[in-house]
Amino acid sequence: MFIGCRIDSFMFNNISTISVMSDQDEIISESHFYNHLTLGLHKTLSDIPGVHDIKLEHREPCEKASVNAWEQRHSCIMPFDLKNFYLSTDGFHMTWSYMIGGESVSIGTLQINPLAKLQRIAGLSSATVDSDGYPTLLDLDLLIPKNHQEIPLFKSTCKIFCLDSCGNMATVCLVYVECKLNPSIWLLDRSLEWHFLASSFTQYFRMMLVYHGLPEWQLKLTPMGLAPWAEQIVYSFMPHLNSPTFLRKNFINYESQLDSSIFKVRTKHTRKSKTAEFNEQHESAKKLQ
């Protein structure tokens, strides 16, 4: 049930350089790419008795122009690993279910928003807020002590983007803290309180795979913890993650060994018809003569 923490090498040069492929070769390469991207999670889940209906959406890569347009629109540089992720696949969505008493119950969801939904939230300025006396998100910034400079703020100088809405339970955010070039991953709960999750997108993606997308898994890394029903699911599928607190903290804070080249750019495949290939070969033969 557990995905290994160390991945030595994941290079996808054979995927990114192919321009002409048969249908069968394309299916194999695409399957190979997603198998490496998920660290073999599909097989891991398949080996668990009762798990079924494992679905992984295969998506086309984003155009480089679209990524550049996103950066220009928001005046910030997308981190290298996240940029390569979107240049390989436009978001990520994987689900799996479990048979209980003869009924299929949806359990796991692993989600990264597509580029079009990587939208900015908050970003308010005092000039744009109505002065009608009602509380606003900016008022919450006043509650944060000045010595907590790393905590995200709702004002315009802090840029916050939605990576995953987590079924309206909370929001996983890509956060550019003031004057920081390297964004980090935070969880914004329904009480509008911030919880740090990961220092990079690669680390967060690895954590998502480790937890198999179990319900509310992000809350397990916060002081709130899981709801009793969600805690029971963790005990059932991944009891090793219920280790003593100090061991769990060491595991979560352990520097990610996931090779960032797992997000190697995967270009769109272009197919040539057999007629076009025959004509090209015929023209080449005529030139040689």
User: What is the pLDDT at residue 129?
Assistant: 44
Q: Over 90: is that where the pLDDT of 208 sits?
A: yes
Q: CA-to-CA distance for 194 and 201, rounded, in angstroms? A: 17
Domain ranges in the chain are: 13-121+151-271
Higher pLDDT, 255 or 269: 269
pLDDT digits 0-9 by tens, 97-112: 999 888 999 999 999 9
Q: What is the DSSP letter of 101?
A: T
Higher pLDDT, 191 or 252: 191
Q: Where are the beta strands (DSSP E) in the chain?
A: 51-56, 92-100, 103-112, 120-121, 159-164, 170-176, 184-189, 194-198
User: What is the pLDDT at residue 191?
Assistant: 84
Query: Which residues, in sequence order, are CB contacts of 212 under 8 Å at separation 6+?
Result: 1, 3, 41, 44, 45, 96, 108, 110, 237, 238
State which amino acid sits at residue 284: S
Q: How confident is the model at residue 20 (pLDDT cuts 50, 70, 90)?
A: very low
Q: How confident is the model at residue 150 (pLDDT cuts 50, 70, 90)?
A: confident
For the segment 15-28, the average pLDDT, to the nearest whole number, is 44
* Distance from the Cα of residue 199 to its chain's centroid: 13
User: What is the pLDDT at residue 135?
Assistant: 46
Q: Over 70: is that where the pLDDT of 25 sits?
A: no
Higher pLDDT, 16 or 164: 164
pLDDT digits 0-9 by tens, 61-83: 999 999 999 999 999 999 999 99
pLDDT digits 0-9 by tens, 228-244: 999 999 998 988 877 65
Q: Are strands 51-56 and 194-198 parallel, antiparallel or unpaired?
A: unpaired
Q: Over 90: is that where the pLDDT of 16 sits?
A: no
Contact between 219 and 230 (Cβ < 8 Å)? yes
Q: Over 80: is that where the pLDDT of 199 sits?
A: yes
Contact between 124 and 155 (Cβ < 8 Å)? yes
Sign for the CA dihedral angle at 272, 35, 204, 231 comes to positive
Contact between 258 and 231 (Cβ < 8 Å)? no
Q: Over 50: is that where the pLDDT of 162 sits?
A: yes
Report the top-level CATH class of 13-121+151-271: alpha beta
> Could you tell me what percent of the chain has a pLDDT over 90?
46
